Amino acid sequence: MKSSTALGFVIFAAVPMGLLFWKLKDINTSYVKRSEDLSLESVVQELESLKLKSSRLEDENNNLMHQISIEKENLASLIKEKEGLELKLENYRDSGSPDLGDREWTAEELKARKKIEELSLKIRELPTKRKLKYRYADWEVMASGFSKMPGMANPEEASFQSRAYSAMGFVNPGTDVRARTLDLLKGQLGAAVYIGDDTIFLNEDSSIANASDGAAVAIEIARALQDQHFELNTSLDDWLYNDDAKLALWAVAAGDTNLFKIRYQLQSNISSTGITQAATRMSRQQFELIPAFIREYYLFPFSLGDRFCQTLYDKDRWQSVNNAIARPPLSTSEILHPELFNSSDYPEPERFRWNINAIEIDGVNPIWNNVAGELAIALLLNQSDFLQRMAELGQPDIINMPELVSKGIDHFSERDGSIAAAGWSGDRYLVYPNGNGEGGDDHVFWMTKWMTKKDTKEFYDAIIKSTQFRREVKLTQSKDEMVSSETDQRYISVKIVDDNMVRIIDAADKSFADKIIEKFEKSSS
C-alpha cells in the first residue's frame, strides 16, 4: 500500500514536471527562432545601410573626379596662359625697334625654337654664353646685317671704295660697289640671318615651326656661337685696312656653318634641298648681271670656305675648326691652299705697314688703303684675260666673265690668272684722288711680294698684260721697268724690286708718279 501510494505520488508529480519541461522546451525553441529572425533582419538592414553609404560615397567620388577633371582643365588653361604670358614677355623683351612689326611667336614656334637650339648646341658642341634672341623681321631689317660683311665700306666711305675699285680695275668706272654688293647679298638672303648682338632674325613670312625655316635658324645659331665664343665680329674689325684677311676669317666662319649644316640635315632627316634659299630674292639673270669681281669676291667664303674647314675637321673634329676661328688664316691664300695654314714653310705675309700719317702727297692722303690678296689679284687677272679673249673673238659687248669660285677650286685654279696669282706673299695698294675720279682716273700705288722669283715673274708678266688691255696703253721697256710710252696718257710703271717684289704705279700723269716714287722709293733707299 505504501509503495503504491508512493508510486502514485511519483507519477502524479512527474506529469506536471514533464508538462513544464515540454513547455520550457517550446519557449526556448521559439526564442532561438525569434533570435535568428531578428539577426537576419538586422543584417539585411545593415546591408541596406551599407549600400546606401556606398552609393553616397560613389556619388561623392564622381563629384570629386569631376572636380579633379575641372581642376585639370583649369591647370592646363593656367599653364597655357602662363606659357602665353612668358611668350608675350619674351616677345616684349625682343621687340626691338617699331619697324620689326607685330609678328609674335606662337606657343608651337616657341617649342620648336627650344628644340632647334638644343640640337644645334649638341651638334656644334658649344654652349651659349649669352641668351640668344630671336625676332621675326622684314627683309630690309634682315639685310641690314650685311653692312658688316668684310670688305663692305660704310656709307661714308662707299664712294671712295667705288673709286678705288675702279682705279684698280676690279670694276668698271661708275659702279656703286656697296650698292651692288648689297644687291648680291640681299638676293642670296635665306629665311634667317645672324647679324650680331646675339640676335637671329627670321623673316616674318616664314615660321620656325617649318622644318626648312627651322633649319635656316639652326645655321644662324651656329653663326651666333662663333661670335659668342670667338668674338667673330670684333675680330673682323681688328683687320683695319686689310679686307683680304677679313675675307679669310669669314671663309673659315662660312665653312664652319656649312659643316654644321650637313650634320644638322642628317640628324633632322632634312634633305640637302630642305634648307633652301626659299626666300631668295634674285633671279638667275639678275645674279649674272652683278659685276663679276663683286660676285666672285663676296661669294668666295661660302664657295670655298667649307673645303678649308673640312681639312681641319678631318684632323681633330670641331676643335681644329675652333682653333682656326680663334687664330684665323692671315690671307685668302691659306683658304685657297689649305696646306699653307700653320705651315712653318709659309711666312707671314708682308703687310707694307706704311705710317698712315706719313703717306700724304702734296697734302693729300689716299682715299683708299687696303690689301688685295691672292683672290682679288686672281679675279682681276682672270677677268682681263676673259674680256680680252671675248674682244678678240669679236664679242666686246660681253662685260662679265662666267662663274669661277662657285664652281669649285679646280675650276678656279686652272685659270691663267689664278696660276699667276699663286705664290702671293703680301701686298698693299693706295689710291690717291684725282679730281672726282671719273673713269677710274685716280692715282694708284701698289706694292706686291711673292714667294719665289718664278712667282714674281709670272705676276709681272700677267699684270702688264692686264694693265695694257684695261688701260688701252702699250708698255715698253725703260731701263728696269715697263712704262707707258704715250706722253699724253696716264703714266704707268711696272717694276720688279729686290727680286721678289713687283711695284705698280698707275697715275694720271708723270708728275704725280714721280711724287709717289719720291715718297716710297727714294725715301726708303
Which three cell numbers mark 164? 678705288
Determine the pLDDT at residue 83: 66
CA separation for the pair 297, 247 (Å, rounded): 9
Residue with cell 640640337: 119
- In this structure, the answer to whether residues 277 and 415 fall within a common structural domain is yes
Residue type at 436?
N
Determine the pLDDT at residue 98: 38
What domain range includes position 247?
107-522
3-state secondary structure at position 127: coil
**Is 99 inside any structural domain?**
no
Which three cell numbers mark 75? 591647370
Average pLDDT over residues 326-339: 94
Average pLDDT, the chain: 84
Name which residue leads in pLDDT, 395 or 221.
Answer: 221
Write b or e for each residue in 37-70: b if 16 or more Cβ atoms lie within 10 A of its Cβ, otherwise e.
eeeeeeeeeeeeeeeeeeeeeeeeeeeeeeeeee
Phi-psi region of 450 (alpha: psi -120 to 50; beta: other; left: phi over 0): beta
Determine the pLDDT at residue 111: 87
- In this structure, the answer to whether residues 83 and 113 fall within a common structural domain is no
Q: Would the pLDDT of 392 be above 50?
A: yes
**Is 356 inside any structural domain?**
yes
Distance of CA 298 to the CA centre of its chain: 15
pLDDT-derived band at 12 (thresholds 50, 70, 90) equals very low
- In this structure, the answer to whether residues 9 and 122 fall within a common structural domain is no
- In this structure, the answer to whether residues 472 and 387 fall within a common structural domain is yes
* Among 93, 121, 150, residue at a domain's last position: 93
- In this structure, the answer to whether residues 192 and 276 fall within a common structural domain is yes
Q: Would the pLDDT of 96 be above 50?
A: no
* Among 93, 126, 148, residue at a domain's last position: 93
**Is 21 inside any structural domain?**
yes
CA separation for the pair 365, 288 (Å, rounded): 36
CB 326 within 8 A of CB 232: no
**Is 381 inside any structural domain?**
yes
Tell me the β-bridge partners of 495.
Answer: 481, 503
**Is 300 inside any structural domain?**
yes
DSSP 279-318: T----HHHHHHS-HHHHHHHHHHHHHHHHHHHHHHHHHHH
Determine the pLDDT at residue 522: 61
Average pLDDT over residues 84-95: 60
- Residue of 290, 288, 383 lying closest to 391 (CA atoms): 383
pLDDT more than 70, % of the chain: 84
Q: Would the pLDDT of 178 be above 70?
A: yes
Determine the pLDDT at residue 100: 43
Q: Would the pLDDT of 92 be above 70?
A: no
CB 203 within 8 A of CB 192: yes
* Among 93, 120, 138, residue at a domain's last position: 93
**Is 98 inside any structural domain?**
no
Specify the DSSP element, H or E, that contains 21. Answer: helix 2-93
Q: Would the pLDDT of 462 be above 50?
A: yes
3-state secondary structure at position 461: helix
266-309 residue pLDDT tens: 888 765 554 544 445 567 777 888 999 999 999 899 999 999 99
Determine the pLDDT at residue 418: 97
- Residue of 360, 359, 353, 332 lying closest to 241 (CA atoms): 353
Determine the pLDDT at residue 248: 94
Determine the pLDDT at residue 34: 53
- In this structure, the answer to whether residues 250 and 386 fall within a common structural domain is yes
pLDDT-derived band at 10 (thresholds 50, 70, 90) equals very low
Q: What's the number of domains the chain is made of?
A: 2
- In this structure, the answer to whether residues 175 and 318 fall within a common structural domain is yes
- In this structure, the answer to whether residues 280 and 407 fall within a common structural domain is yes
Determine the pLDDT at residue 168: 97
Name which residue leads in pLDDT, 357 or 471.
Answer: 471
14-43 residue pLDDT tens: 444 554 444 545 545 554 455 555 577 787
- In this structure, the answer to whether residues 27 and 147 fall within a common structural domain is no
**How many angstroms separate the Cα of 179 from the Cα of each of 144, 293, 383?**
12, 14, 21
Most confident of 3-7, 87-91, 379-383, 388-392: 379-383
**Is 100 inside any structural domain?**
no
106-144 residue pLDDT tens: 788 888 899 999 999 999 999 999 999 888 888 888 877
485-508 residue pLDDT tens: 776 789 999 999 998 999 999 999
Determine the pLDDT at residue 56: 84
Determine the pLDDT at residue 274: 47
410-431 residue pLDDT tens: 999 999 999 999 999 999 999 9
- In this structure, the answer to whether residues 365 and 499 fall within a common structural domain is yes
Q: Would the pLDDT of 207 be above 60?
A: yes
- In this structure, the answer to whether residues 326 and 462 fall within a common structural domain is yes
Q: Would the pLDDT of 382 be above 70?
A: yes
- In this structure, the answer to whether residues 226 and 166 fall within a common structural domain is yes
**Is 102 inside any structural domain?**
no
Please give the angle made by the CA atoms of 361, 362 and 365, to the nearest 5 degrees. Answer: 45
Average pLDDT over residues 194-202: 87
CB 496 within 8 A of CB 456: yes
CA separation for the pair 67, 299 (Å, rounded): 64
